[in-house]
Amino acid sequence: MYRRILTVAAVFYGLALGATTVQGEEAHVAEVKKYVTANVVPWLNDKIVIEALKAQNIKHAALTEADILKLDKEWRAQVDAPSKPLIESLMKNPLSAFLSTKKAESKDLLTEIFVMDDKGLNVGQSDITSDYWQGDEAKWQKSFKAGADAVFVDKVDKDESTQQLQVQVSVSIKDPETGKVIGAVTLGINVDQLSS
């Protein structure tokens, strides 16, 4: 009997602890979404963002999966190489400059920003990403593929180099004229900064 009471108590405690964790996670997601809605969504309609997405979607319209994988492989090889023509072509474009400014204006709240086209390929970014194609990852699949006004908040991770808690949030981007989803943006958010 005593063992049964302990087991029931342990199960109840575990459920209560789990509920607390879920509630904490829900509060965290709500806080991130509130920040993004107020501070990011307004500039997603900026002419620089929309025009860069439209141009790259046209440029990449005929790309096959093999083409995409080849470009991604090329990007990955260039990350640590002295010569980075593909990476530099993106890092020097007007959208990347715009995103770098938005990151700087956040005063360390945003750790990275990158915009992806309708195939999941980078269009512009504040920092060099480890890969070029995000189309095989949840950040693109749960934002772009989820449709207009989609917001996907990933799990919180601890950045080993900075020891800060960070989360990636991805938002679909639509053409303000047609309402059609034309891309997505992913932002790294410093959770410690957001909470302070």
Tell me the HSE value of 85 on the side-chain side, using a 13 A CA sphere: 2
Helix (H) or strand (E) run with residue 33 in it:
helix 2-39
- Structural domains in the chain (count): 1
Question: Hey, what are 183's tokens?
Answer: 């891309």
Q: Could you tell me the residue range of the domain that residue 173 belongs to?
A: 2-195
CA dist 192 and 36 (Å) reads 16
pTM of the predicted protein model: 0.85
> What pLDDT digit, counting tens, does each position of 21-50 carry?
445 556 678 889 999 999 999 999 999 999
Question: Hey, what are 76's tokens?
Answer: 């990955």
- From 120, 103, 137, select the one nearest 53 (Cα to Cα): 120
> What pLDDT digit, counting tens, does each position of 72-97 carry?
999 999 999 999 999 999 999 999 99
